[in-house]
Structure 1
């Protein structure tokens, strides 16, 4: 296969993201039908499904030779991400936020090539906030992104926003964590123990973390980390479509994605267990190892 024109793919994804954003904003969460997948907190709406159908049609028309993996068409144990160029799509990341009218939801559009996140577009239509990344070409944040020039359109700003300032230890870190939809079993226990230890005082063996946040969207967590607004993001249980786009944006901002389980400096796009650290001139390795030390012997294991 000929080399992929990543910039052309980026331009297509941005156009698709704006169209998806208009569909999301036009929906009335109080009147749309919802269903659940795993349990009551694992929600899917008719808007998720409609957006994915539109995205699928647009991307297959533009790049018919590329593979496609979408959250709403994923088949457990069947769907696989290969080395072929593959679009990996979450039509609404942050569906629980969406149905509550909480303005932290987005469309996440990623392209992986040889299983490496190579283009990422994440768009929050409620805030008209766009994050983009192209492998080898940097990543950017754009406020009021859908407006016409001269009508309040914001500047396209290279990430990270504050430069690659050094990282400190956990006591000065702002870290995003998520409970996820699995609320029992050993994976849940690892999270619960880690959350408690992160928050506890150092005198009692804790990490005395500077602050913990839960944005409710893996893609937006990764973009905030890429922007330098968060220092780290830890989660187990999410899928490739939650992280593929944000991973590219993070990497192009100098950030690093490692395993959410201790010791894994290399991890796969579909590993389902992730720890992201923002770009920094110093301190990435030390902060990752300190975080892994809080997890200790715990290990999360999620099936595909």
Structure 2
């Protein structure tokens, strides 16, 4: 296969993201049909499914030789991410936010080549906020992104915001994002709860006394906030490649780092389902990652595909 034109893919994905955004905004969460997958908090809506169908149709027309992995068309033990150029799509990341009209939901569109994120587009239509990244070309944030130039469209700001990569100090000064996920029992959940408690607890009681904990309800937006420098770290277990592929590219292009959410693994696979992201910094990345891993201790999260 000829070398992939990443800029062309990026432009196509941005166009698709805006179309998806219009579909999401046109939906009425109070009247659309919803269903559940794993349990009552693992929600899928007819809008998720309609957006993914649109994305698939557009991408197959533009890139018929590329592979496609989408959340709503995923088949356990059948769907796989190979070395081939592969679009990895979450039509609505943050569906629980979406059905509550809480404005922290987005479409996440990624392209992986050789199982490595190469293009990322994350668009929150509720805030008209666009994050993009192309391997080797940096990542950007744009407000009022869907408006016409000269009519309110925001400037494309290179990430991290302000251009600075201030050094990371330690967990006591860090703003860290965490998510409970949809699996609410078992050892993975218990490990999360133990880690959350230790992160929050005072040092006098054996905790890390982290600067602050946040939960945005969207893996893609958590990663983009890290890329922007708004969050220092993001720890997650249980999400899938479509949750992180686009944001992963945007994070790396902003100088950030993605390692495993389980201690000791500096090079996690795209579909490993266990992740720890850290923002770009002029120093301290390795040290704060190792400090976070010590909070986890000997525990390990293990999620099936």
Deviation at 1:212, TM superposition (A): 0.3
2:152 corresponds in structure 1 to 152
2:232 corresponds in structure 1 to 231
Deviation at 1:90, TM superposition (A): 0.1
1:208 maps to 2:209: yes
Residues in 1 aligned to 2:196 and 2:149: alpha-carbon distance in whole angstroms: 44
1:117 maps to 2:109: no
2:86 corresponds in structure 1 to 86
Residues in 2 aligned to 1:195 and 1:40: alpha-carbon distance in whole angstroms: 23
Deviation at 1:62, TM superposition (A): 0.5
2:200 corresponds in structure 1 to 199
Tell me how large the CA RMSD over aligned residues is: 0.4
Residues in 1 aligned to 2:173 and 2:20: alpha-carbon distance in whole angstroms: 37
2:4 corresponds in structure 1 to 4
Deviation at 1:149, TM superposition (A): 1.1
Residues in 2 aligned to 1:61 and 1:14: alpha-carbon distance in whole angstroms: 16
Moved more, 154-163 or 81-90: 154-163
1:262 corresponds in structure 2 to 263
2:225 alignment partner, SS class: helix
Residues in 2 aligned to 1:51 and 1:152: alpha-carbon distance in whole angstroms: 26
Alpha-carbon displacement from aligned partner over 1:180-204 (angstroms, at most 9, x marks no partner): 0000000001100000000000111
Residues in 2 aligned to 1:6 and 1:151: alpha-carbon distance in whole angstroms: 28
1:268 alignment partner, SS class: coil
Q: Which runs of 4+ in 1 moved over 6 A?
A: none
Q: How does 1:1-304 map to 2 (within 5 A)?
A: 1-162=1-162, 163-304=164-305
Alpha-carbon displacement from aligned partner over 1:124-167 (angstroms, at most 9, x marks no partner): 00000000000000000000000011111111000001311100
Alpha-carbon displacement from aligned partner over 1:42-88 (angstroms, at most 9, x marks no partner): 00000000000000000010000000000000001110000000000
Moved more, 146-155 or 114-123: 146-155
Residue-pair matches, total: 304
Q: Which consecutive unaligned segments of at least 5 residues does structure 2 have?
A: none
Alpha-carbon displacement from aligned partner over 1:235-274 (angstroms, at most 9, x marks no partner): 0000000000000000000000000000111101100000
Deviation at 1:288, TM superposition (A): 0.3
2:72 alignment partner, SS class: helix
1:87 alignment partner, SS class: strand
Alpha-carbon displacement from aligned partner over 1:194-244 (angstroms, at most 9, x marks no partner): 000000001111000000000000000000000000000000000000000
1:274 alignment partner, SS class: strand
Q: How high is the TM-score relative to the length of structure 1? A: 1.00
